[in-house]
């Protein structure tokens, strides 16, 4: 152990030791990802995205190389799950309650192309958001009741996983 130097990089995280504390960021990893996938000159977009924007199929667009696409998605998933600043957002103050609360929502037949619905959910522990997701449902349903049933079932499964 005495021959090891001070930690500066670990799994894509940059570590800086200063007198005021230890600081962690992912700027280098993020820039490398942008360069690797040829996205360093792309324009930025605010998050969350404007809810009035409608996304449709690009009929005249180019085909996507699936291996590169999966590489981008996997890299972004790692980047977002390893962000150290999320720890601050979900840190629990001493006076915070441990009540588990969940919300679920559905947009029935939202996709113009395949008529699949979009469902979303979020879970709070006390007043802190700890989990969320939004996705297009895998099947087409015939009524709003069926869509709501699928969304609530998925939400309950997530709650049971969190509780265990």
Of the chain, the end-to-end C-alpha distance in Å amounts to 38
pLDDT at 34: 87
Evaluate whether 59 touches 112 at the Cβ level (below 8 Å): no
Biggest alpha carbon distance in the chain? 66
pLDDT at 61: 82
Q: Which two tokens stand for residue 23?
A: 């600081």
Evaluate whether 119 touches 150 at the Cβ level (below 8 Å): yes
CA distance 32 to 21: 26
pLDDT at 55: 72
pLDDT at 109: 66
pLDDT at 1: 45
Closest C-alpha to 74, from 41, 35, 119, 37: 37
pLDDT at 147: 73
**Mean pLDDT in consecutive groups of 10 residues from the start of the chain, 164 residues:** 70 82 82 88 74 76 86 81 55 70 78 75 81 76 74 85 82
**For the CA atoms of 80, 82, 84, 88, what is the dihedral angle to 10 degrees?**
70
Buried b (16+ CB within 10 A) or exposed e, 114-142: eebbbbbbbbbbeeeeeeeeeeebeeebe
């Amino acid at each position: 152990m005495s021959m090891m130097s001070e930690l500066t990089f670990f799994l894509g995280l940059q570590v800086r030791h200063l007198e005021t504390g230890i600081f962690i960021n992912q700027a280098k990893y993020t820039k490398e990802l942008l360069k690797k996938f040829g996205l360093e000159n792309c324009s930025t977009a605010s998050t969350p995205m404007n809810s009035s924007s409608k996304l449709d199929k690009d009929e005249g667009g180019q085909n996507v190389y699936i291996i590169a696409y999966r590489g981008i998605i996997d890299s972004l998933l790692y980047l977002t799950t390893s962000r150290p600043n999320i720890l601050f957002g979900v840190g629990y103050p001493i006076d915070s309650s441990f009540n588990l609360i969940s919300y679920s929502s559905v947009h029935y037949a939202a996709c113009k192309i395949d008529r699949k619905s979009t469902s979303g959910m979020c879970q709070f522990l006390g007043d802190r958001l700890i989990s969320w997701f939004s996705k297009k449902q895998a099947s087409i349903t015939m009524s709003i009741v069926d869509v709501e049933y699928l969304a609530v079932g998925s939400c309950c499964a997530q709650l049971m996983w969190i509780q265990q």
